[in-house]
Structure 1
């Protein structure tokens, strides 16, 4: 797990000016990426990213947010400052992280994950001239943009795929932490399975509970949970658990005929998971990158988004990845299920 160094505002500002990271005493969780303004003559943007546990390199949720920021920086010029949460973080730690970025002049600042909700509400109120964005939570404020998704809808389609692909009528769901957000994934998945084939058994397990967020960054726990489900007969496992899902995918790959369903990013195409790609049936892609990019662009254009931007199935906010071609044979049925959700015929639950 990466350590997070608490940087002073002066240290962050120095990093933004391209001084060495060593001079600021940063760790692997604190990084800068600088470039000149875009060729079009734009001023560029100073993007502050406050990552959830796991940070850039989790091959899932945080990486998707990072892609959105990277795209914005590539188009508009400027710099990116990244700070990453620890599993031991307190509310004060999260508040300080956002405050450090604000004091150093980063604008916009994006909190990647619902855990930043309370701290963002406090910090945004203190810095009304800075635009704040938060992923996976709704925070009120004149200078706050909430980026949310209909995870349950995409997960419903993952459940349909699992029910159509299982040969044992037995599938599983692994959640990182039993939060309301992750329960949306569970609810949609289980409903999709049962609506497709009521005879299919669905095992459900959460890696951690309550305020223990290590369930999002413990591949060993993901692997152990998946192995337990496989041993009990499940042959399709969907994991919504950040980098913990990497362990689950590894476990599934070790069982012939079993399938893993990835999450957030198209995990079939993640280089770090290439050894297991033949076992990744599909991924429930949550286009966090699109939401983050849209927000940064709005700030760059001088018209910052505020309120709640909902990225739904109908708007392409969530979808099933087709990489590998493993769901090509069931695509017509998936398309039919999607149509029913989009037109309102199927109402997907947001809680188990």
Structure 2
């Protein structure tokens, strides 16, 4: 059985506010919980006017308080931006308040631009290079305190919060395999290395105290509606967002437009490549696409991203995605 989950960036819609985005995120998590989603993750991005989940641990606490069973986690925390002890304390606190419900996914990229990395008081030239050591240090903080240990995470020590490694290339796939950790690939925006990364992870996986056998997840976009035309129209909000990022003009999530109004042929080709791992269309089309994706990748879990402008449209897309995954069992 392939599990299904949801990754949310708490999108700030054009004409809206971060408060409304976070309220929408919690409501979306409640909907996902009702539909049987395994987990609800949020991602760290900084200096992005269209994303409200920068203080990821705080946002996750708000979402966890409004839900009961669904796992809540980071997909992910960009570890180069933080001291491992701080992250261990934050997620140790979440795990203490919401036991057996918290996940911690770790990314190696800063999730922002160079100037913002410096504003975060991190060295962009060395922080990413320290990533393997920082992951190991973080894992140690979640272990029981050892005699003579001078620094400990309070809360955090002994809780062994589940840690995932996230990636869009081969680096984190290999690291996750060698450390015996679950691995999630960001194929929703970086599809090129998906197959190679999953193969590498499975071939090089070494059992650990955290995981006996490899466990992989892949992110896919979900643009689902009752008609194909409506699904493709809803998709244009994300298309406009990606184009704005590439043009260096990030902003709030824009309302959908007709597909031929988004861009010209060259940028359209780039968008199609970036968003190739997307379940787009009617319930029947989404189910066929997901069945083929699971067959092609063999992933243990799919994590959807559903960046749609209208909240009711997001609810409907989740219903379609959950229904399709249930029928794949």
Question: Which TM class, normalised by the smaller chain length?
Answer: 0.3 to 0.5
Which protein has greater RCO, CA pairs closer than 8 Å, 6+ apart?
A: 2
More strand by share: 1
| Structure number with bigger Rg | 1
TM-score where L is the length of structure 1: 0.31
